[in-house]
Amino acid sequence: MQSDLSFVHLVLNASPLVQLVMATLMLASIISWTMIFDRSRVLKKARKAAENFEKRFWSGIDLAELYRSVDHNHGEITGMESIFHAGFREFARLKKHREIEPMAVVEGARRSMHVALSREMDELETHLSFLATVGSTSPYVGLFGTVWGIMNSFHALGNVKQATLALVAPGIAEALIATAMGLFAAIPAVVAYNRYSNDVERLNGRYEDFLDEFTTILQRQAHV
């Protein structure tokens, strides 16, 4: 008597708990891939937007004119544009008050830019924690399903007089599928998390460099 060791058969005949583990891992994998594609799109857009804005900023355009241009698209401001918009808006507002010291004006603009930077980083890091969680826990969830399935297989041996490999092979095979599914969910999530974390860190450095450079420009203008 031959046992059916096809993937579908093993999944359908697994114990309810092992099936629940498999379904959880499959759902985690689907969600992870959705987030992976979403983060790829968002980070690619952020890098392109930063490059385009830097070209405009360093082209010699008047800052007030650039601010009006950015403010016109207020609902679509992201990344470096958002940092510039927040800083110049606060700088212009504080500079109207003659009693405020120039350095206090610059410091106020700098604080506004840091708030904007923090918001941008929160947006870029969205879903990364989920990918990290899937990458670190999926193998253990799959291993739990494997251990449970193997326990059921050996428990079933207690009810037979003669144990054979053919008798335990289906149970062990269906249990090992849970481990395979855990790795299938974890590996892409870990790779994506490491790559996107590096991309976010590089963008953060780029934003901070711009913030410092723009602050230096505002310091010169504050004394005009």
The per-residue pLDDT for range 150-203, each reduced to its tens digit, is 887 777 666 666 656 666 666 677 778 888 899 999 999 999 999 999 999 999
Structure pTM? 0.83
Establish if 39 belongs to a structural domain: yes
The domain tally of the chain equals 1
Establish if 85 belongs to a structural domain: no
Distance CA 36, CA 102 (A): 45
Establish if 91 belongs to a structural domain: no
What is the 8-class DSSP label of residue 13?
Answer: T
pLDDT reported for residue 224: 62
Establish if 201 belongs to a structural domain: yes
Note down the domain range covering 153: 7-58+124-222
Establish if 79 belongs to a structural domain: no
Average pLDDT over residues 196-219: 95
Burial 112-126 (b: 16+ CB within 10 A, else e): bbeebbeebbeebee
pLDDT over 70, % of the chain: 87
pLDDT reported for residue 164: 62
Instruction: Give which of 70, 45, 63 is closest to 215, Cα–Cα.
Output: 63
List all residues 6 or more positions away from 130 whose beta carbon is below 8 Å from its beta carbon: 31, 32, 35
DSSP assignments along 16-85, one per residue: HHHHHHHHHHHHHHHHHHHHHHHHHHHHHHHHHHHHHHHHHHTTT--HHHHHHHHHHTGGG--HHHHHHH
Distance CA 68, CA 171 (A): 68
Q: How many helices and strands, by DSSP H and E, does the chain display?
A: 7, 0
Establish if 106 belongs to a structural domain: no
Establish if 66 belongs to a structural domain: no
Tokens at 103, concatenated: 């350095």
